[in-house]
A and B are shown apart, each in its own frame.
Chain A
Amino acid sequence: MNRQTIENALDQLDLPLLVDSWQMKIGLDLDEEPAIWVWVILTRNDTDFPTREGIRRQVEEAIAAVTTTETLLGTVAPWVFVNFRTVDEVRELELA
């Protein structure tokens, strides 16, 4: 799993204008299996659920496209957790 490859995949996504940026962390989940956490940073806090779901699926599919591996035992892919924060919230977290 290559961090740069994943970042490139996310950078190439055609996301709505209300998406300001994204943050990513790679690590191990509770099962100590490879996992990726992505926070999509929104410019506003009133984005409706269907829009967020659409963005979430875009991000998951983009990451799956560059991280999924076919093996003799089946498909292997890191677990991807996508969530959302607003620009204001990120700023508050950084100041805390």
Chain B
Amino acid sequence: MRFESLSWPRDLLEQARHLANRERQRPKQVSLRRAVSAAYYALFHLLVDEASSFLIRGQGRTPLRQCLSRAFSHADMRAVSKGFSSGNISNKIRPALDGQAIPSELCNVARMFVALQEIRHKADYDPAQSLTRQEVNNLVDRTEQAFRDWQAVRGTLQADVFLTALLAQKHMQT
């Protein structure tokens, strides 16, 4: 059932906010870094869950959707998101948009995915990277906005194309 998987992204977002503000005084870098990671995975799992549910529908298909959800690649999702947010949509998938413009809300979701992946990579792997509470809370705010923006566009043609592209664009023939 979808409600179980939808709560996971929201729980991750809530955890991100909690970690960003965990210490009363000076925040620990480990808390801020984990907050960034939680925010990224909140949006990642939201999109993966939405895409899996869109591509495989019907009751009794939860195990199959869960299998499919493990086929998504962070790098491939990044490439698609860069295209959708910059207006440089791949010719592989552009025909599916049927001439429809990308709504600003969808641009924002895609853009936020790229931004979160970028900073999450630094937060997880770059010991020289320092974060601040203001910085991380701003990222969490923007991720919450991305969740709202997604709700505004889900079910539209453009959103469906985006979800399909996240998984399959790389493998499409031109």
Contacts and interface: CB of A to CB of B under 8 A. Distances in A.
A52 B88 contact: no
B134 A93 contact: no
Given A52-B138, A81-B115, A83-B138, A30 B132 contact: no
* A interface, size bucket: 20 to 34
Contacts of A53: 142, 145
B7 interface: no
A77 interface: yes
A84 interface: yes
B134 A45 contact: yes
B76 to A, nearest CB: 12
A31 B83 CA distance: 13
Contact of B134 (A35, A75, A81, A84): A84
Contact of B135 (A49, A74, A79, A85): A85
A41 to B, nearest CB: 9
A40 to B, nearest CB: 10
Interface in A81-96: 81, 83-86, 89-90, 92-93, 96
Interface in A42-91: 42, 45, 49, 52-53, 74-75, 77, 79, 81, 83-86, 89-90
B139 A49 contact: no
A61 B142 CA distance: 18
Interface stretch (B49-57, B116-124, B165-173): B116-124
A53 B142 CA distance: 8
A29 interface: yes
Contacts of A79: 82, 114, 118
6 contacts: A42-B134, A53-B142, A75-B86, A75-B88, A81-B118, A89-B135
Interface of B: 26, 78-79, 82, 86-88, 114-115, 117-119, 121, 130, 132-135, 138-139, 141-142, 145
- 4 closest Cβ pairs, A-B complex: A89-B132, A49-B141, A85-B132, A83-B135
Interface of A: 29-31, 35, 39, 42, 45, 49, 52-53, 74-75, 77, 79, 81, 83-86, 89-90, 92-93, 96
